[in-house]
Structure 1
Amino acid sequence: MAAQAAAVMDGGVTDGKKKGGKKRGSSLDSKKGKKRGKKNNGEPTDGEVNLQSAQESFNARNGRKPIFIQPKNLSVDCKLKDYQLEGVRWLVSLYENGVSGILADEMGLGKTIQVISLIAHLRTMKVTGPFIIVAPLATLPNWVREFEKWLPGHPVMRFHGSAKERDAMIDGPLNAKFRKNDDFPIVVTSYEVAIRDEKRLNKIGEYTYLVVDEGQRLKNHRCTLISSLKRIRSSNRLLLSGTPIQNNLDELWSLLNFVNPTIFDDLNIFQSWFGFRNIGQKTQGATTEEDILMEERKHQTVSKLHEILRPFLLRRIKTDVLDDLPPKKEIIVYAGMSKLQDGYSKMIDQGILRDVLLNQGIEAARTLSQTNKQMNHRKNCNHPFMFGEPIDPATGAHMGSAHPQLLIRASGKFALLDRMLERLYRDKHQVLIFSQMTSLLNVIEDYLLYRQWKYCRIDGSTNIDERQRQMDVFNSEKTAGHGGRRNDGDDRHFVFLLSTRAGGVGINLATADTCIIFDSDWNPHQDSQAMDRCHRIGQDRPVAVYRLLTVNSVDIEMMEKQISKKKLERMAIVGGDFRKAGSRSMGEFKTEALNELLNDDVKDLQSKGADVESIRIDEEEFEYIMNREKLFSDGEGAIPTEGKMYDVIDAHKGDVLGAMT
């Protein structure tokens, strides 16, 4: 396997015949490694030899890469970009050398298209499959649609439905006796079906390729999903993930072990090689940065990690490869608390909020847990009505319905959102609003009804067909349904409400040019995925991302946690230059560079708003962040990048969270 990895890094693409590597027809997990353990004589274990051999073999290779030509069986209307051709060339090289890998391109760069092109290329080389794609349920329609668009001459089947329907597919078009036919369908299925139906899926026989979309779901090597996928017989595996590292290096090992179990076969060895596994966790008496930088050879460890990962991982980011992609800027906007929120916050700390609300007749508070203070503070930062909406004694209606302005004024973030949406509506933008909490989406929905603005919505309860319909309705505002021009009239669908987890994957909403993160996720990658629903291929306008934070609150704590978690990816991935297949590192990753990557860009978040009397963004600063022309101006007239109640982040310059994506 080490020799195969080295051959991959040579980058050679032959005429489609395998040059060495694993024999076709043998399952990836069929060869079990020797029992691992430390040798008493101090010599390296088998796992250490595998890793070291792979690294040394790669270092000995620096082959010239031939130009890759787009497969001729792709639709004539579809044209791959140069970096996508490079990605397909890398995937083909993996296949030819019997090595599996991770395509870790940033979200929105077309990993789906590159996989389809790989399959198209293999079919031109008479490799008929079978091929299987395992993806989140919500993304299955998009996979089918993209196959039909890019590879229209080949059938694709969504393996889903009742047990009876799935049996009919296995007995019919997916019968194993047809598996070598040219028209054998490409199988697209969900995680849930893969777990439940591994035996049915194995009836088809061994798959030429098992592709797992959103591969970060396999970060826990003990999870049921990864165990089930390992039992699905396949010669090659490919993981797609825009976020290959989220919390620690154990998760990265889990992904590497799945794609190449004979090389990455021992977690303990992997941990012993890379001693910064606790990055992002504070240790008593020292910061994480001090823990990492105190040992003189840590920079060599990081360099070693990059060298070992490079044969198996390809990652490009949008700012490096998409010259024609409009810019994106993230603006952190700070809001204060309303008097009601401030009062609720004190009652949460005192543990009396539930009793007070019940005394006011708010029955929804009966289920309120007073022990989970952090969650209660998060809800309060969003809107106090999330604990239950007071009843207007005069009308018997909920206060928000009887007095809509109270709905707005009850939350500092809502008052800010109201100002922003009025301006965005007037300036003819379309907006995505993300929240962690569907109950908050309900409150925003009431507000949108009051404003009489048309909207769409997707959350975890939206079924797969309705999800697609909502996307089509929203995106039609930009398509030929309006004579080939964008609909910016008063009848347009102005807002798309999305829960961050359900709406952050498998969705293309490039019709929108504005994204509002109402409340942040503990996991920064979830927010990054949300932003990239609109900042992706197909976007033709600059994208503004507004992240709303309540000053002196749990919002600030969550933001700091995001930065801490992202340090790991900065060190392990961002600093490794995985942009080109076979590219070699020029020298060691210096301690100074590591220090720079670990440097926080957001300085003293807790101080924001401390010197502002009303803790409300003033008209001058509001104009700065809402004037799209000034916001994206780099010359004279450009706005200050930092204000009393905002910070502007330029993704092209790698500041703050821009550098974290």
Structure 2
Amino acid sequence: MGGFISPFGNNTTNTNNNNDVQNGERQNQSHHHHLFKKATTIQTLTTTQEDNNNSKKKQQHRYWRCLFAKRKATAVKRKTLKFEDGALRVDVETNDSVLYNEKGEKKAKGKPGTIVEGTECSLQQYEIEIDNEIEEKEFASGMAFANIDVGVLEKDDKEDVDDATTKKKRKTTTAFSNTKTFMAANNTKRVVTANMLKPVYSIDAPNACVLYDGQKPNTIGPIPLVLDPSIARFLRPHQKRGVKFMLESCLNITSETRSGCLLSHDVGLGKTLQVIALIWTMLRQSPRPSYDVHRDIRCSITKAIIAVPATLVGNWKNEFKKWLDLKIEIEAIDGSNTSDAAKKQLLKEWALENQKRRLVLVCSYETLRANAHLLENKAQLLVCDEAHRLKAKDGSKTLDGLKKLNCKMRVLLSGTAVQNNLAEFYSLMDFANPGVLNDYQTFRKVYQLPAERANDTKATEEEKMIGKARAKAIFEKTAIFIDRCAKSDVHIDGLPPKTEYCLFLSLTEAQQKSYKAVCDQVIMKRVDNPLVACGVLQKVCNGIGMLSSSSSSSSNELQLAIQEANKVTTTTDPLETSVKLRVLKKIVDLSQKMNDRVVVVSGWTSTLDIIEKALSSTSPGLRFTRLDGTTPSHKRTQLVTTFNNGHGGSVFLLSRKAGGVGLNLIGANRLVLFDCDWNPANDLQATARIHRDGQMKNTFIYRLLSAFTLEEKIFQRQCQKGALARSMGFACVENATNNKDDDDEDNDPKTFSSDELRKLFKFEYARKTAMKEPCEMAKVESCQSWMNDCRFSGTLNDDVLKQMDEEASGNEDVRFYAKLS
């Protein structure tokens, strides 16, 4: 009965000996083999034990999950202390320990003594209760504090479930394939024929796009789903993958408990067509046989709702007509030329149970928000275009309205899912799959703050390590719900390349005086609202003429800027007081000579007014098309179509907020970002208007930035946010006022600390230009890879900029030409 006792608690040899006694003949026949096996087992286990011991010797730190609370000054009972989750890192050799909170921040360090599970100890001013030991990766990734439940069993857990239910599964694996009858919805038995289990389109056809192969007959259904060949033949590989991804998410193939997803393809990669293919497939096909007793009618959904910005309602309607003209009819409501009563009536009619003609509703977010109660439980699928606008983590009227629809399947579309911070990403994922990232407070502490801190220039190496691990954990755990695709990953036949330049410009004397006056007032704390001052400074950079036309002319900061400008110049010519306007005019004039057309983007409608007036006065024959917040929704599609057809003039004036998303402006191949936005996604969306499928010319993007001003700091912050987006695998930027214009309601300056705000208003233009410095970003270490003057590096490959530089002849309007891509 003696034998080798395994260090893992299993008496392996005893078990073998018992089997040998029961099988005498086998014992005699395999005696030598048994002895060899026994010796091998002992050797293997001994070797394993030695390896484990060596591994422990090499391990530098051990980690323990714990609860900790700060000791109060007065003597109180331990149970009254407020404990919170944390982790204790213990040096194996020296016993030096560091206490961390959920964010990965150091709270205390010292030598608490022997650490054993279930014990209590103290470290500096903290009382600690030791829980269980954890792996280092569990602490770094944050999974020790907040696990992300995606509704998919891990491999080991799945094997346990499979073993426990093997017999049950054997009885049901052929439920559909062998069953001849099943119960219909009205409790009537219906015979299932072989034809009813055939897909609508053949899976064996050449180039068939199979979205579901029918290999999960019990949970999903036995019928394969194949994309309509009339659409499939136009889809590129990344689009077929996107349609398959969305369908698998909606039908619970990806996750057993969650039916939402995020299609995060770069702008211009055809997300609209992918959604049309998805909806058409789900309306006409199902993995399960029809439950209709009289007809073989299959459908995975009965109705679908598409929520879009008002500007894009017409575009979606046209796309459905283009791809499914005679196959489907949709209801499109933008609300611009329809009364509230009429909209409600249209929605009520669409929601009727017996209304089977228009199965798809395309509606603006504003209309859905106001009338969500009319559409509750009327559709199974909700698609949200430009979903990054659903970023209110604490709830908003739009989000609340969409939740009232109670659509189980939710598909979000966004080329820029991560814009400012991870709170916006949380909002998107929590709406698509409620609860997948825990509650927001937990997510913020464990994941958001450490990940964002890692991109800070002052972050320590340990903070960078923890932050990157937390961002990676979010990326890996939510990957099954997100399909990412960048333009750089896709080869679009016939799409010409895009080149982006950043032009760092000088300031006129009047601009310098005005800018410095406002900065001085802020530094001396004579300004009530520094955020208003930020908006004023941005307009000073655009040009002195923009100040007098501003709707916020009553502000003290603006009045001061105007007064200082008037001391230097009395001219009313906007070209004399705006370097940006002069550069823009040159770009437009040279583009016309080359038969190219230009899109000009600004965040202020008042700036667009000045641009239109200045260019018209110097070029009387120049024709414009303009789209801003005042343009009625029902006219916007026609304006875009006319311009793309070559009948809308040479210049398209576009408001960033009103037309920066979804529009297709391939009639132009040059785009000027006249000013920049705190949110990098807004600029990224705007630049994508011209570089899209269907563009026939090489495209050029020009960012106009005033050197040594707030605009450079805004662009630096965009690059910092871009690093956060890249850490999550999303698209990003490569390489402040409260007025009635089209500003971002979520202006970023309000997130600055007082110290950061002071740095924003530090103005050293005169000193740095005297030292011949071209711009501030030229000395920023993180920008060195692309901050090279194209004129001297030989990368100025744009005929417009080349000619503009040649004609400058000593004029320093443009101080630095940087090529971003």
Which amino acid in structure 1 is aligned with residue 658 of structure 2?
A: A
Structure 1 pair 256/622, CA: closer, same or farther in 2 (3 Å)? same
Counterpart Cα distance in 2 of 1:271 and 1:241: 22
Counterpart Cα distance in 1 of 2:277 and 2:454: 41
Counterpart Cα distance in 1 of 2:690 and 2:449: 35
Structure 1 pair 315/619, CA: closer, same or farther in 2 (3 Å)? closer
Partner of residue 177 from structure 1, selected from 341, 353, 356: 353
Counterpart Cα distance in 1 of 2:461 and 2:372: 43
Question: What TM-score do the two structures reach when normalised by structure 2?
Answer: 0.58
Counterpart Cα distance in 2 of 1:48 and 1:135: 33
Q: Is the aligned partner of 1:106 residue 2:106?
A: no
Partner of residue 315 from structure 1, selected from 481, 484, 492: 484
Equivalence for 1:520:
676
Which amino acid in structure 1 is aligned with residue 209 of structure 2?
A: F
Which amino acid in structure 1 is aligned with residue 700 of structure 2?
A: A
Equivalence for 1:505:
661
Counterpart Cα distance in 2 of 1:288 and 1:417: 34
Structure 1 pair 435/74, CA: closer, same or farther in 2 (3 Å)? farther
Q: Is the aligned partner of 1:374 residue 2:529?
A: no
Counterpart Cα distance in 2 of 1:315 and 1:568: 15
Structure 1 pair 190/49, CA: closer, same or farther in 2 (3 Å)? same
Structure 1 pair 135/42, CA: closer, same or farther in 2 (3 Å)? farther
Asked if the contact 1:334–1:548 (Cα under 8 Å) also holds between the matched residues in 2, the reply is: yes
Give identity over the alignment, percent.
Answer: 26
Partner of residue 507 from structure 2, selected from 337, 359, 364: 337
Q: SS state of the match for residue 496, structure 1?
A: strand
Deviations 1:616-660 (A, max 9, x none): x999789974734999xxxxxxxxxxx96110111xxxxxxxxxx
Q: What is the CA distance between 1:122 and its match in structure 2?
A: 1.2
Asked if the contact 2:382–2:407 (Cα under 8 Å) also holds between the matched residues in 1, the reply is: yes
Structure 1 pair 261/627, CA: closer, same or farther in 2 (3 Å)? closer
- Structural mapping, 1:338-417, within 5 Å: 338-351=508-521, 372-388=532-548, 406-417=573-584
Counterpart Cα distance in 1 of 2:156 and 2:318: 38
Partner of residue 603 from structure 2, selected from 436, 440, 451: 436
Q: Is the aligned partner of 1:218 residue 2:378?
A: no
Equivalence for 1:268:
441
Q: SS state of the match for residue 696, structure 2?
A: coil
Structure 1 pair 78/162, CA: closer, same or farther in 2 (3 Å)? farther
Which amino acid in structure 1 is aligned with residue 149 of structure 2?
A: L
Structure 1 pair 502/100, CA: closer, same or farther in 2 (3 Å)? same
Asked if the contact 1:458–1:503 (Cα under 8 Å) also holds between the matched residues in 2, the reply is: yes
Asked if the contact 1:105–1:314 (Cα under 8 Å) also holds between the matched residues in 2, the reply is: yes
The structure carrying a bigger strand percent of its residues is 2
Equivalence for 1:541:
697
Larger mean Cα displacement after TM superposition, 155-164 or 332-341 = 155-164
Deviations 1:473-506 (A, max 9, x none): 21011xxxxxxxxxxxxx8711100111111012
Structure 1 pair 54/611, CA: closer, same or farther in 2 (3 Å)? farther
Counterpart Cα distance in 2 of 1:292 and 1:156: 55
Counterpart Cα distance in 2 of 1:93 and 1:371: 46
Counterpart Cα distance in 1 of 2:426 and 2:789: 48
Partner of residue 234 from structure 1, selected from 398, 401, 407: 407
Counterpart Cα distance in 2 of 1:52 and 1:130: 26
Q: Is the aligned partner of 1:122 residue 2:282?
A: yes
Asked if the contact 1:351–1:370 (Cα under 8 Å) also holds between the matched residues in 2, the reply is: no
Structure 1 pair 49/618, CA: closer, same or farther in 2 (3 Å)? closer
Which amino acid in structure 2 is aligned with residue 447 of structure 1?
A: A
Q: Is the aligned partner of 1:90 residue 2:245?
A: yes
Q: What is the CA distance between 1:345 and its match in structure 2?
A: 2.1
Counterpart Cα distance in 1 of 2:492 and 2:228: 27
Asked if the contact 1:334–1:608 (Cα under 8 Å) also holds between the matched residues in 2, the reply is: no
Asked if the contact 2:502–2:703 (Cα under 8 Å) also holds between the matched residues in 1, the reply is: yes
Equivalence for 1:162:
339
Name structure 1 gaps, 5 residues minimum: 1-36, 353-367, 391-398, 478-490, 577-604, 632-642, 651-661
Structure 1 pair 49/574, CA: closer, same or farther in 2 (3 Å)? closer
Which amino acid in structure 2 is aligned with residue 239 of structure 1?
A: L
Equivalence for 1:51:
149
Q: SS state of the match for residue 668, structure 2?
A: coil
Q: Is the aligned partner of 1:68 residue 2:235?
A: no
Which amino acid in structure 2 is aligned with residue 458 of structure 1?
A: L
Counterpart Cα distance in 2 of 1:52 and 1:468: 40
Q: SS state of the match for residue 544, structure 1?
A: strand
Identify the structure with bigger relative contact order (alpha carbons < 8 Å, sequence gap 6+).
Answer: 1
Counterpart Cα distance in 2 of 1:60 and 1:609: 66
Question: What TM-score do the two structures reach when normalised by structure 1?
Answer: 0.71
Name structure 2 gaps, 5 residues minimum: 1-83, 87-128, 133-141, 160-206, 212-225, 253-257, 286-297, 523-527, 551-565, 733-763, 776-787, 803-813
Which amino acid in structure 2 is aligned with residue 308 of structure 1?
A: K
Q: What is the CA distance between 1:121 and its match in structure 2?
A: 1.2
Equivalence for 1:21:
none
Cα RMSD for the two superposed structures: 4.0
Equivalence for 2:614:
447
Asked if the contact 2:372–2:401 (Cα under 8 Å) also holds between the matched residues in 1, the reply is: yes
